[in-house]
Structure 1
């Protein structure tokens, strides 16, 4: 279970979803297009606080997921949080609360869905395009924690800026063309590949400000003060546990434009 040997590894795809009805059909189609063997692929989704038809649509798509994956886990867990109408999800005043809730959702999904898998692939529902051999390519790199380069257009600017180095001053676009993995201090969650045993050892998405004493964190944060939450907090926590996060600047995945 420790050696990375390609197709024999079992992988669990995990996706938290909310108000995702627009993206679910394409999401399932992209899962169906993956070249990774069905017997080595499981999937788990957690839906929370949706105001659209996400949960009902997911139930209708369940049969297609069952046909593609060896095991499917669908979880319903509401947290009672909604952005005010007309407010973009990146509005600074709501970031700490929003990302705290997202961290809680990710942890709930992780603890409910992870069984015997070797790796976890965190995959956001609004990542609309990625290589069909994505899992094989991630396994071939041979790292414990990997963050591909999430953009909204090929060769475009970095979209997921939660993956950074040098106190938040360097992003994956700064390393494009290197042809190799680069060290990161924090990671994003749009697409994130983690060896499952590190989660089992206690690596979570902190739903609180984490890493105040870690020299890798950003020296100040205009929104909520020192410390990192959710995926960035996970990156700092991994470092505290002795694991290095890596980014793949030349492996691009495409996020929906916002």
Structure 2
């Protein structure tokens, strides 16, 4: 019989120890390999949807959209304290934002002078936003606006850049021959479409930081560079200067006859009118017996104000609060008025003050 010697206890212990070590090392290597491939897929090449991230910006966007920094998808609520928003007499010193609103249609001929004048304003440009609503246009209005917006927003001097310029386009399919746009019979319909245009522009462009809204006609051709500060200093809810017609000899000719006061005669006359009848100023077909601002004395102080019951919108400065609280431009008949004059009636019914400055003269181009 051949006897085989049984391994010693020392050898057996060593063999068992090596097996344990090998299993341990193999486990570590497996873990590292698995981690490497997992990390490569999730962080270096593929997002959760399996799409390759091709740029740092995409990576940042992915981080935000998947709730980076322990945020829930969708981000955080936006909190704005509108109690801190004011429109004051010293708006320039208080750094209050102004938005200039101008509705347009086939306006290419007027735009060079329009931009020249607003660029001449002494109010800080970084506190000025400009917004346009272009409707039913067949000329190059939109392309000119794009070109000027690019120029005004990208100037080398940051102090000469405007805060924001927005161009909106909304067609109403309303066509009216140029030589018919001021005829008496078509005014209620035309003014109704203008009201809709203004309301579209207002609701699209008004931001939470705007303190003042300036309604400016594209064909106003002359006003002082300090006009914003001047009108703000009057410190009323709605204020308009006296808009005259531009003449070669500088003679006094009225233009904006929508700035007016009611009189005893005009109020009495309205008692017998059909509620749907729209009153219009400056037409011989129907005399309203109102006191037009263009007929008021102009020798008083430049900032001497008078209360008004109706306003136009050649150059109308409004505290943004007036619009925010609901005063807009009625496209329907409101107290025998539509559009801008209806806005004035509505603002007054809400308790806001509406005023004009008979001695503060600006000029409008002569058109058909």
Asked if Structure 1 and Structure 2 have the same fold, meaning a TM-score greater than 0.5 normalized by the shorter chain, the answer is yes
Is the 2:89–2:234 contact (alpha carbons within 8 Å) kept by the matching residues of 1?
A: no
Q: Classify the secondary structure of the residue corresponding to 2:255.
A: coil
Are the equivalent residues in 2 in contact too, given 1:28–1:65 (CA < 8 A)? no
Q: Residues 87 and 212 of structure 2 are in contact (CA less than 8 Å); yes or no, is this contact kept in structure 1?
A: no
Deviation at 1:141, TM superposition (A): 1.1
1:140: how far off? Answer: 1.1
How far does the alpha carbon of each residue in 1:108-146 deviate from its partner, in whole angstroms, 9 at most, with x for none? Answer: 000000102000010000001111111011111111100
SS of 1:239 mapped into structure 2? helix
Higher Rg of the two aligned structures = 2
Larger relative contact order (Cα-Cα within 8 Å, sequence gap ≥ 6): 1
Are the equivalent residues in 1 in contact too, given 2:90–2:229 (CA < 8 A)? Answer: no
Q: Structure 2: which 5+ residue stretches go unaligned?
A: 1-85, 156-160, 267-287
Give the aligned partner of residue 230 of structure 1: 339
Cα offset, 1:88, TM superposition? 2.7
- C-alpha RMSD of matched pairs (Å): 1.4
Contact kept? 2:307, 2:356, Cα under 8 Å = yes
Shift of 1:157: 2.7
* Aligned residue number for residue 28 of structure 1: 115
TM-score normalised by L of structure 1: 0.89
Counterparts of 2:143 and 2:125, CA distance in 1: 25
Aligned length: 242
d(CA) in 2 for partners of 1:65, 1:144: 29
As a proportion of its length, which structure holds more helix?
2
Runs of 4+ in 1 over 6 A off after TM superposition: none
1:6 alignment partner, SS class: coil
From the superposition, tell whether residues 35 and 3 of structure 1 become closer, same or farther in structure 2 (CA, over 3 Å). closer
Conserved? CA contact 1:150–1:159, under 8 Å? yes
Q: What secondary structure, in the 3-state scheme, does the structure 1 residue paired with 2:110 have?
A: helix
Residue ranges of structure 1 left out of the alignment (5+ in a row): 212-226
Give the whole-Å Cα distance in 2 for the aligned partners of 1:118 and 1:2. Answer: 5
CA distance in 2 between partners of 1:6 and 1:107 (Å):
25
The equivalent position to 1:111 in structure 2, one of 185, 203, 206, is 203
Matches within 5 A, 1:43-62: 43-62=130-149
Q: Does 1:140 align with 2:140?
A: no
Instruction: Tell me the distance in 2 between the aligned counterparts of 1:203 and 1:117.
Output: 16
Distance of 1:113 and 1:158 partners within structure 2: 31
Structure 1 residue 156 displacement after superposition: 1.6
Deviations along 1:78-131, one digit per CA (max 9) or x if unpaired, are 0000103x5331012211111111000001000000102000010000001111
Matching residue of 1:183: 307
TM (norm. structure 2) is: 0.63
Greater strand share, 1 or 2? 1
1:5 has 2:90 as partner: yes
Q: Distance in 2 between matches of 1:3 and 1:51?
A: 40
Selected match of 1:78 from 171, 176, 188 = 171
Residues 161-172 of structure 1: pairs in structure 2 closer than 5 A: 161-166=257-262, 167=266, 169-172=290-293
For the Cα contact (< 8 Å) 1:158–1:171, is it kept in 2?
Answer: no
